Amino acid sequence: MSLAQFKNRNVGSQSYVTLDVGKPPQGGWCKFKQVAKRTFKGELFVGLWVVFRNMLQALFKNDMHTVKYPLEKMPISPRYRAIHDMLRLLESGNYRCIGCGLCEKICISNCIAMDTRYDEEQRKEVSEYTINFGRCIFCGYCAEVCPELAIVHGPRYENASEQRAGFSFFEDMLTPIDKLNLQQEYDGFGAISPNADENIKKTPLAY
Amino acid sequence: MEATHLLPEVTWVGVLIKTVIILAIISALAGFGTFIERKVLAFMQRRLGPMHVGPYGLLQIAADGIKLFTKEDIIPQNANKLIFMVAPLITAATAFIALGAVPVFPDFTVPDFIPFIGGTFVPSIASDLNIGILFVLGMMASGLYGPLLAGMSQANKWGIIGAARTAIQFLSYEVITALAILAPVMLVGSLSFVDFNMYQSGGVSSWLIWQQPVAFILFLIAGFAETNRTPFDLLEHEAEVVSGYATEYSGMRWGMFFIGEYANMITISVIAAIVFLGGYDASSSIGWLTIMLKIAFFFFLMLWVRAAWPHVRPDQLMWFCWKVLMPIAVLNVLITAIIVLL
């Protein structure tokens, strides 16, 4: 198809292909023939077979769609934007955040509040860091702007609670120090999901 | 009829025990039927269905029962209270009365070690009427008063539409059921289920479905309509009339409609199995197993069809009944009559 065809906005003047559904039956005898043809065509049995085949596949080939949600979870994409995680440096175990304040600046819903000070060695230290999850719209700008890959979006999407403040303490979002070896590096926006290979399907060009 | 003379005499204690068995087992089966229905529909859509209450969700019936029994029994303000309260009873009662005249479980003698009722012979049919089929069909037909009165008494427009649909659907398909079953009745020359069973005792080749395939299909279609199953479940078609006649019902009154519906499904399955598929083989020990399998197949077929086929519109239902099925049924009766006469 050439570009000119796509640029043609005059809907209705394109060369649409009409579906060949045939002419409606004329007269009683033709109508009767159509009814008889449709009756003995056995299309209803095709329908029966389709659902029965599905049942066989579900029962004997273990091809169920059900995910027993609280017990089983689907792998989510690394691009998913859930409750934030604060990552640590793998070598020292310190948090990566350098207190630059970029995330606070860029946050479009003004939900990040941070305070920094100089410690004894004149290094910048984060003294306060909270995200108000009542306001956060999970846009992902904070993670995108972070120069140290310190604040990222984690996989914790189950955030129904009486107090969303419980999610927002810096210590809660920080990787626990004893689980440092389990810390997942952030693949970033545009990364593929862990089960991407299974999800690949042939492009349906055949029809 | 020779074989029945060999059986011990049926006493009123036996009939009473049989009645209790039918009531207990069929209402349990009706509850179990809802579980099976949900499971089968789930499998056909590649879902798991109820899984969490008990192993494989088997105790879901108990959970449903507790819910139904403890739910508040709401009677709407403007409803005709007496009729509103009685209507579900009509559905459930007629369904069970109909089951009284069909052979449901094998006959047996209560073991002697059980006090008071030991040695009592329990027949397979609670009441072996010589007009069994007529009685069952009549009872199932009078069951239409349940949805009809329920819909009309509840002061709800969806209920009224449901009641109107009840009237058109049941009255139309009652004709088909009767005409369809008339042809086998002419062949057998009796209205007793036992006679039907005897007539087809010569193995698979003697089944009436081979002589009366058209009547079988007609009866099946009409049976789906009479039990209010899917291609014809206009009475409570959620997408159109919320819940039809059952809109205002809650708790156990609503549950009784469903027990009645599932009991009717079992009755239709039993009639189809006995009249067309050879029934039970009274002489062999696995004879009762075969009829159970036949009944189970028909029950499964109803669920299967529900998963596969769409509903029809009321006008399509009427058109199909009066303009297609009834002429075919009359022709079938006519041809059968000519063949019987020759």
CATH number at residue A90: 3.30.70.3270
Q: Is A47 on the interface with B (CB under 8 A)?
A: yes
Q: Both A88 and A153 in a single domain?
A: yes
Total beta-carbon pairs less than 8 A apart between chain A and chain B: 42
pLDDT tens digits, residue range B260-304?
A: 888 888 888 888 888 888 777 766 667 677 888 888 898 899 999
State the smallest CA–CA distance between residue A192 and chain B in angstroms: 27
Does residue A99 lie within any of the structural domains? yes
Least Cα distance to B179 among B217, B132, B211 occurs for: B217
Q: Do B48 and A64 touch (CB under 8 A)?
A: yes
Which of B44, B303, B323 is the best residue to mutate to test the A interface, defined by the most A CB atoms within 10 Å of its own CB? B44
CA distance B336 to B327: 14
3-class DSSP assignment, residue A153? strand
Q: Which of B47, B51, B308 sits opposite A51 (nearest CB)?
A: B308
What is this model's ipTM? 0.77
In a domain, A20, yes or no: no
Q: Which residues of B touch A59 (CB under 8 A)?
A: 43
Number of domains present in the structure of chain A? 2
- Are A91 and A170 found together in one domain? yes
Q: Does A36 touch chain B (CB under 8 A)?
A: no
Least confident window among A195-199, B78-82, B141-145 = A195-199
Mutate to test the interface with B, among A35, A55, A56 (most CBs of B within 10 A): A55
Gap from B207 CA to chain A (nearest CA, Å): 23
More confident residue, B127 or A75: A75
Question: Which of B291, B298, B333 shows the shortest CA–CA distance to B102?
Answer: B291
Whether residue A144 lies inside any domain: the answer is yes
Task: Give domain status of residue A202, yes or no.
Answer: no
CB contact (8 A) between residue A68 and residue B40: no
The residue written with tokens 């005792």 in the block is B201
CB-nearest to B44 from A35, A44, A51 is A51
Same structural domain, A55 and A102: no
Same domain, A127 and A178: yes
| Residue A192 falls inside a structural domain | no
A61 touches chain B (CB under 8 A): no
Q: Does residue A110 lie within any of the structural domains?
A: yes
Sign of the Cα pseudo-torsion (B238, B240, B244, B248, in order): positive
Half-sphere exposure of A85 (CA within 13 A, CB side): 21
Confidence of residue B1 (pLDDT cuts 50, 70, 90): very low
pLDDT at res. A107: 92
Half-sphere exposure (Cβ direction) of B204: Cα atoms closer than 13 Å: 2
A67 touches chain B (CB under 8 A): no
Which residues on neighbouring strands pair with residue A112, listed in sequence order? Answer: A131
Asked whether residue A94 is domain-assigned, the answer is yes
Same-domain check for residues A133 and A47: no
pLDDT per residue as tens, chain A (207 positions): 677 777 777 766 667 777 888 788 888 899 888 888 887 888 888 889 999 998 998 888 888 888 888 888 887 877 788 888 888 888 888 888 888 999 999 999 998 888 999 988 888 888 888 888 888 898 889 888 888 888 888 888 887 778 766 677 788 888 888 888 888 777 766 677 777 788 777 776 655
Answer whether residue A88 is part of any domain: yes
Q: Per residue in B179-222, pLDDT tens?
A: 998 888 888 888 888 778 778 777 777 788 888 888 999 999 88
Amino acid at site B205:
S
State the residue range of the domain holding A89: 84-182
For residues A139 and A102, state if they share a domain: yes
Asked if B305 lies within 8 A of A57 by C-beta distance, the reply is no
Residues A138 and A102 reside in one and the same domain: yes
- Give me the residue from B43, B51, B308 closest to A48, CB to CB: B308
Contact B308 A68 (CB under 8 A): no
Helices (H), chain B: 2-6, 12-44, 60-70, 81-99, 132-142, 145-153, 157-188, 193-199, 208-211, 213-226, 238-241, 251-275, 287-308, 314-319, 326-341
Name the residue among B47, B304, B309 with its Cβ closest to that of A66: B47
What count of other Cβ atoms lies within 10 Å of the Cβ of residue B243? Answer: 18
- Nearest by CB: A50 against B47, B51, B308: B308
The beta-carbon neighbor of B308 closest among A47, A66, A68 is: A47
Residue A34 near chain B (CB below 8 Å): no
Residue A35 shares a structural domain with residue A119: no
Measured CA to CA in angstroms, residue B206 lies from A52, B106, B185, B210, B276 at distances of 29, 22, 15, 8, 10
Gap between the Cα atoms of A64 and B83, Å rounded:
46
